[in-house]
Amino acid sequence: MLESMRENFLLIGLISLLLNLFGCSSNPVITPADRSLSPKQTATASTLPNQPMQWGGVVISITNLAQSSEVEILAYPLDEEGRPMRESASIGRFIASQPGYLEAADYASGRMVTATGRISTIRKGLVGEAEYEFPVMLCEQLALWPKQRESRSKPRIRFGFGASSGGSSYGSIGIGFGL
């Protein structure tokens, strides 16, 4: 009977682990590309890079055109997953051009994105009243990151349980509560 109970706890533990690892993963899969030049460096370079670049950041605005959508992005360095690191200093601005229609409510100001594609041109524009040169990326991939959860003012209560053989044939069971 104790052996059957131990097997059940191991099975429950394995299922819980798999659900935690795979069940809640909603991050986009980012195809790696060159990150060696920032948007700011690209805007002032004498030639445009030949290879696909990868930049990411925070959406400033979106404009839907007849055949494409353009997203103005304030760029930040990317972590190893390709997620923009907002706690770092910005590395310039760029325009991500995506064929077709993008829903402005999904790509709202403040949302994080990662874009991969080739730089087609440098476009002169304005940031407020200041002149600015925007690299324009023709997107091969435009990944929208999930909204970050707001911190809760109420504590979360967690419940857990576990089982152990304790190195003997008697075993043990434990229940825990936490905040």
> Could you tell me the two tokens for 108?
């709202």
More confident residue, 111 or 164: 111
Helix spans in 31-162 (H)? 39-44
**Interstrand relation of 158-164 and 112-127 (parallel, antiparallel or unpaired):** unpaired
Mean pLDDT of 33-42: 97
C-beta atoms surrounding 75 within 10 Å? 20
Per-residue pLDDT reduced to its tens digit, 151-173:
445 555 666 666 666 666 666 66
pLDDT at 49: 95
Rounded to the nearest integer, the mean pLDDT of the chain is: 84
Report the share of the chain in percent with pLDDT over 90: 65
Name residue 49's amino acid.
P
CB 82 within 8 A of CB 101: no
> Could you tell me the two tokens for 130?
């200041």
pLDDT at 170: 65
pLDDT at 27: 86
Q: Where are the domains of the chain?
A: 39-144
Quick check: 131 pLDDT over 90? yes
Quick check: 16 pLDDT over 80? no
pLDDT at 148: 77
CATH of 39-144, one of 3.90.1150.10, 3.40.50.2300, 2.40.50.140, 3.40.50.620: 2.40.50.140
What is the number of alpha carbons within 13 Å of residue 141 lying toward its C-beta? 16
What span, in angstroms and rounded, lies between the C-alpha atoms of 170 and 62?
64
Mean pLDDT of 45-66: 97
pLDDT at 153: 52
Quick check: 69 pLDDT over 60? yes
> Could you tell me the two tokens for 134?
């925007």
